[in-house]
Amino acid sequence: MRKTMFAFLLLGLGASAQAAPKLQIYFIDVEGGQATLFVSPSGESMLVDSGWPDAGGRDAARIVAAAKLAGVKQIDYLVITHYHMDHVGGVPQLAARIPIRTFIDHGPSVEHGAEADQLVAAYTKAREKGQHLVVKPGDLIPIHGFRVQVLTAAGDEIAQPLPGAGAPNPLCAGAKQRETDPSENARSVGLLITYAKFSMVDLGDLTWNKELGLACPDNKIGTVEVYLSTHHGLDQSGAPPLVHALHPLVAIMNNGARKGGSAEAWETVHGSPGLEDLWQLHYALESGKAHNAPEAFIANPEEHCQGNWIKLEAAPDGRFTVSNGRNGNTKTYQPAGQ
């Protein structure tokens, strides 16, 4: 009788572990732009960026398809990292297909001209249908079920290290700044996403000098489980003192077939201490086999593709699973000490 009850207890514990609520993250293929969908265990959703504008609404359709898979009927929070075509261009088409409740950005754009002004005007018009929040470093996005803290915005960064961070960064020795970037990239909204013991960094298209500001002389962020490659894996970003100090277990690269995934940036991410795997949304055609992940870890190996996603599910204990929407390849990761 005691053995039987013990068996039932084990079954119950197993079922409880399997039923533990998880944070869902979809890295949506928008052909070298960004669209990352977070779905809280509470059911609330946050989308970071909206991909490109397109006559056929390609990127909006892909985002809505991912939302449907995740059981999402509205976007509760849309975070626009910065005002470039591949990040904010798809907002009007997306807003026409799915309700967006709250729009979040860093405030006015620093780029002007016919195309830049038209881009911001189209976003602003779509934004009028919902609430609007302007964020600054240190702010928390008011979503329930997981924590989202702003690390950078409008060219500024968090003034003090996060709790548990702030250790001197020996990787800064010899690190050199590059020419100042006056564009919207350097003003990207950067985020730390935390769900219990799981954490991930998304810095939009933040450029080299701003990354060094987060990492040198002290590491203001600490370590994370997952790093979303900054700026799609272009070599204007991905400063090694930051990437390596984050010490990610997994990296996701939201590159396109012919955008991002540069050999230099790929080497930096791939060589990060403790990295177990690098997953890519696309095979980077100009980088060659030596600077691409194994085929099983690439969602879209061909240039003209179906827009396959990469999905991550994180459990409260820090364990997480990454899946390739194209081939079903799935791998579970367990952070050190778990």
In a domain, 288, yes or no: yes
pLDDT for the residue numbered 9: 39
Q: Tokens representing 165?
A: 């961070």
CA 147 to chain centre: 14
pLDDT in tens, 176-201: 999 999 999 999 999 999 999 999 99
- Helices (H), ranges, the chain: 2-18, 58-69, 85-88, 91-95, 114-127, 208-215, 240-246, 263-270
- Has residue 96 been placed in a domain? yes
If one compares 16 and 283, the residue with the highest pLDDT of the two is 283
3 within domain boundaries? no
Averaged over 144-169, what is the pLDDT? Answer: 97
The pLDDT tens digits of the residues spanning 94-153 come to 999 999 999 999 999 999 999 999 999 999 999 999 999 999 999 999 999 999 999 999
Give the span between the Cα atoms of 108 and 331, in whole angstroms. Answer: 41
Domain extent for 41: 21-333
Alpha-carbon distances of 110 from 45, 88, 106, 113, 183, rounded to whole Å: 29, 15, 11, 10, 7
Q: Are 52 and 279 in contact (CB under 8 A)?
A: no
Residue among 154, 104, 93, 82 at smallest CA distance from 126: 93
Tens digits of per-residue pLDDT, 55-96? 789 999 999 999 999 999 999 999 999 999 999 999 999 999
Helix H or strand E encompassing 153: strand 147-153
Q: What is the mean pLDDT of the chain?
A: 94
Pairing outcome for strands 75-79 and 36-39: unpaired
Give the single-character DSSP code of 140.
Answer: B
Does residue 110 sit within a domain? yes
The structural domain count of the chain equals 1
Q: What DSSP string describes 122-139?
A: HHHHHHTTSEEEE--TT-
Q: Is residue 201 part of a domain?
A: yes
CATH number, domain containing residue 295: 3.60.15.10
Task: Please indicate, yes or no, if residue 9 is contained in any of the structural domains.
Answer: no
Q: Sign of the C-alpha dihedral, residues 188, 198, 234, 47?
A: negative
> Sorting pLDDT into bands at 50, 70 and 90, what band is 18?
low
Residue 338 lies in a domain: no
